Structure 1
């Protein structure tokens, strides 16, 4: 009888020991799955948790050269297929995939599509890295001599979005894989060569956690070069009042008198 008890006790110790190792096993599996540069960022920014919410809302104020160029409230589905932008002065933009609809004051504004997509894209950037048409060079390196970040380059297949010739060079923190800054070109209204002669970068700082998901509350816009990285600061963005919202799709209705752009 005693031998049976001892045998059971030993068996229990073995089972308990195996159970204690299981979190390590799970962690190892998770790290193995996150093989790509994009996947590591998505895990660091809690993409799985983010996508469990229907929509995200925030206020964004963007200025360049001391001039305010954007001041609005943005509500966008976490899948980014629909969005509503309400400017401080009451003007509105509705986005439904590639279609943009605007209130009367914006019908002749040449920058409407740029503003409709750009600021929400920068906000959602960590969750857009695996979109259809994305092409990655995980081995890309800049020519900076003092770069302390991991880097990779993102380009796009032809006919993806309004500006398929745009590219992005991502910098992530080595320990956390969190996004630090992103160099980019904007080809809207320019040739690719013209855009590449004047690349910029956005730097994400002051992360705040909302329902388990980190969001940068401050953006810095900089001039950037392949050899020196960030140089002169040229603009900034302030993101406030970030919150997840429900029933956005139920209430999303484009007014009949809005203009398609």
Structure 2
């Protein structure tokens, strides 16, 4: 079993002391700014949570969910989930799992390995490549109208390209407050059956506003959204510009 605690090594680059010759020609490379695909309003949502440019400089993200430690490489999307009884992850090529206690892993690794990464890395994962954006009607809850955008994926993007998300944000603060999403992992076909999550509280993690607690909601007999008993707390968040070794994300030797 890999160690749960992360050891992050920061490498300081030291510039060369030798000055270039006076007659040397200096080559200036033209760097083009990346043209963003997301709508202006979503850009304001990203900015309210710390900024998409700053987020793209982060390499490693880690958080705890109950006894699980989720660690991700934000660039390669390699992931490992460690617990005392089991571990699972994605090494960049294959999804793997390992049980220290037989029968302890009661989830499908292919479905579960990055599930809470997506919930936790909101709203920033909504700026990934291959996304199609569509403005939707506001979501009305307790006399507040939350503007929203639907996020769908181009064909063959990810393991469930037919999944859809709708992010709803506060019209005044631009902070994300609701997430609606569909699940097509098993059916492999589109659906309009959305599940709803309310982002109850946030915390500042090195300048980024990341979720602290989320709660699932459902409609009652009067067609009103009410909280369910499914509540998830995220603890011990960690973000770093340092990159972990690729071996960290590989399956441990049994």
The reply to whether TM is greater than 0.5 is: yes
Counterpart check, 1:43 vs 2:53 = no
1:214 paired residue among 209, 212, 235: 209
Partners of 1:55 and 1:78 within 8 A in 2: yes
Matched with 2:126 is 129
1:53 paired residue among 54, 58, 73: 58
In 2 relative to 1, CA 99–177 (structure 1 residues): closer, same or farther, beyond 3 Å? Answer: farther
Q: Report the Cα distance in structure 2 between the residues aligned to 1:134 and 1:229, rounded to whole angstroms.
A: 31
Q: Which runs of 5+ in 1 are unaligned?
A: 1-32, 62-70
| RMSD of Structure 2 on Structure 1 (CA) | 3.0
Instruction: Tell me how many residue pairs correspond in the alignment.
Output: 212
Moved more, 183-192 or 209-218: 183-192
In 2 relative to 1, CA 34–236 (structure 1 residues): closer, same or farther, beyond 3 Å? Answer: same
2:112 paired residue among 115, 122, 126: 115
Deviation per CA, 1:152-197: give whole Å up to 9, x if none: 111111222111111112110112211101111111212646x534
Partners of 2:213 and 2:231 within 8 A in 1: yes
In 2 relative to 1, CA 34–247 (structure 1 residues): closer, same or farther, beyond 3 Å? Answer: closer
Matched with 1:223 is 218
Matched with 2:4 is none
Shift of residue 74, structure 1, vs aligned partner? 0.7
Matched with 1:150 is 147
Larger radius of gyration: 1
Matched with 1:254 is 250
Moved more, 208-217 or 47-56: 47-56
Higher percent of residues as helix? 1
Matched with 2:34 is none
Deviation per CA, 1:100-150: give whole Å up to 9, x if none: 121145898661112101101111121111212211112x10574844211
In 2 relative to 1, CA 108–58 (structure 1 residues): closer, same or farther, beyond 3 Å? Answer: closer
Matched with 1:82 is 78
Matched with 1:172 is 169
Matched with 2:95 is 100
Q: Report the Cα distance in structure 2 between the residues aligned to 1:184 and 1:229, rounded to whole angstroms.
A: 18
Q: Report the Cα distance in structure 1 between the residues aligned to 2:68 and 2:246, rounded to whole angstroms.
A: 22
Partners of 2:86 and 2:105 within 8 A in 1: no
Shift of residue 239, structure 1, vs aligned partner? 0.2
Q: Which runs of 5+ in 2 are unaligned?
A: 1-36
Shift of residue 256, structure 1, vs aligned partner? 6.3
- Structure 1: which 4+ aligned runs deviate by more than 6 Å? none
For 1:177, what is the secondary structure of its paired residue? Answer: coil
In 2 relative to 1, CA 51–185 (structure 1 residues): closer, same or farther, beyond 3 Å? Answer: same
Q: Report the Cα distance in structure 1 between the residues aligned to 2:155 and 2:215, rounded to whole angstroms.
A: 29
In 2 relative to 1, CA 256–109 (structure 1 residues): closer, same or farther, beyond 3 Å? Answer: same
